Structure 1
C-alpha cells in the first residue's frame, strides 16, 4: 500500500468536508446529483470520444498502481550483473545461461542474454534503448489520459454552471424563488465538483504515474550502464561500485537535487580504476 496516496486522499477529503461543515449552515446543500452527473458523465463521455477503448481499459487498470507501493530490486539487479561479470571472466557461459532462468527482471534478463550471445555493443544499446522508449511512450500516454480528464472536468463544471445560470435567469421573474435558488446551486456546485475531480483525483493520478515511469526508467538506465560494463569484461567489483554511484546520482535527480558537489561527494574515489574481482 502506498501510504502517501492514502494519506493524501484522506487529508484532501477531510479538508473539503471540514471546510463545508464549518462554513455552511446546511452542509447537505453541497450534495447535488444533477451537478455531479454533468461533471462525471461529461468527463467520461469526452474521454471515451478522445481515446480508443483498448487504451482506456489499460489505463484504468493502472489506477491500482497509485495505491500500490512498488519495490524495485535495484540491489538484486546489481548483484545479478556482478555475478554475470564474474562468470563471464571465468568463461563459465553455461552457468550464465542457468542464471538467466532465475532473473526476475525481464529487461535485465534480456540485457545479460544479449551479452552472453556476444551481440555487438551498438546493437545491445539499440535494442535496450528501444525498449526504454517503448515503455516511456506507453506509460506517458497512459498518464496523458488522466491529464486530459483533469482538463475536461472543470470544463464540464463550467458547462453545468452555464446551464444553471440560464435556468436561474429564466425563472428569476417567476413566483417560485426556491426554483431560482436550486438552479443557482446547480450552477455553482458543478464548478466545485469539476475543480475537486481535476485537482484531487485526475492530476494527482497522472503525476503519480509519471513519477513511477521515471523510477522505472532510472532502473533501466542503470541496467544499461551495467550491461555495457559487462560487455567490456569489467570486473564485478568495478561494476558494483559504478552502479551504486549511478543509482545514487539518479535518485538525487528524482528528488530534485541539482548540486554537483553533493553528487560528486557521494561517488566512490576509485571509479576511474578497475576494481578487483569479488
Structure 2
C-alpha cells in the first residue's frame, strides 16, 4: 500500500523525463554516451596492476634476455599497454613509452571527466524538475474548495515530484558521478604502478641505456 502511494507515473515522467532530456541538451549526445559507457565499465572488473604485470612478464623477460631490438610484440588486450610495448619495441626509447602512456591517460581522463560532468549535471537538474513538477501540481488545485479528491491528488503530486527530484539527484546521479571519478582515479594509480615497474625492468635492455628514469 505504501509503495502504491509513493508511485505516480505523471510525477515520475516529469522528473525523470525532464531531467534526462535537459541533461542531454546541456551535455550533448557524445558526452551522454560517454557517461553510459562509464556506467557500463563500473560493472566490469577493476584494472589490476598485478594482472597487467603478469601479462607483461613474458615480453619483459624476452627483452631482458635478448634485448629490445630482437623482442616481438605481445598483446594481451589492454589498449594502452599493447601500444606501450609496440612503441617501446618500435622506437627502443623510454620517451616513446611515456609518450604513448600520456596520450592514453589524457584520453581516459577526458572521458571520465565528461562522464562525471554529465551525472553532476543530472544531479543538479533533478531537484529543479522536482520543483517544476510541484509547480505543475499546484496549477491543478481545484478552484472549488469542496473538491477534496482533486485537492488531495494535486498535493500528493506536489510532494511526490519534490521527493523524486531529491532521491534521483542524491541517491542515483550524484553517487554515480563519484563512483566513476573514484574508479578512474584508482585505475590511473594502478596503471602508473605498472608503468613504473615496466620502465624499471626494460631500461637496461635498451640500446645505450645507462640509467633508469623513474617518475
RMSD: 2.8
CA separation of 1:122 and 1:29: change in aligned 2, threshold 3 A: same
CA separation of 1:47 and 1:140: change in aligned 2, threshold 3 A: same
Between the aligned partners of 1:105 and 1:40, the Cα distance in structure 2 is 36
Alignment of 1:84-95 (within 5 A): 84-93=59-68
Deviations 1:199-222 (A, max 9, x none): 222122222222221232123212
CA separation of 1:82 and 1:64: change in aligned 2, threshold 3 A: closer
The secondary structure found in structure 1 opposite 2:145 is coil
CA contact (8 A) 1:55 1:142 kept: yes
Higher alpha-carbon deviation: 82-91 or 182-191: 82-91
1:124 equivalenced with 2:109 (yes/no): no
Alignment match, 2:156: 185
Between the aligned partners of 1:101 and 1:232, the Cα distance in structure 2 is 18
Alignment match, 1:48: 24
Gaps of 5+ in 1: 1-19, 22-26, 235-278
- In the superposition, the TM-score normalised over structure 2's length comes to 0.81
Please state how far the C-alpha of 1:69 moved relative to its aligned partner: 4.2
CA contact (8 A) 1:155 1:194 kept: yes
Alignment of 1:180-259 (within 5 A): 180-233=151-204
Alignment of 1:1-278 (within 5 A): 21=2, 28-66=4-42, 68-93=43-68, 96-97=71-72, 100-168=73-141, 171=142, 174-233=145-204
Highest RCO, 1 vs 2 (Cα 8 Å, sep ≥ 6): 2
- In the superposition, the TM-score normalised over structure 1's length comes to 0.65
CA separation of 1:138 and 1:61: change in aligned 2, threshold 3 A: closer
Higher alpha-carbon deviation: 38-47 or 117-126: 117-126
CA separation of 1:112 and 1:230: change in aligned 2, threshold 3 A: farther
CA contact (8 A) 2:83 2:100 kept: no
Alignment match, 1:265: none
CA contact (8 A) 2:88 2:96 kept: no
CA separation of 1:186 and 1:209: change in aligned 2, threshold 3 A: same
Q: How many residue pairs end up in the alignment? A: 207
Between the aligned partners of 2:75 and 2:67, the Cα distance in structure 1 is 16
Gaps of 5+ in 2: 206-215
CA contact (8 A) 1:38 1:156 kept: yes
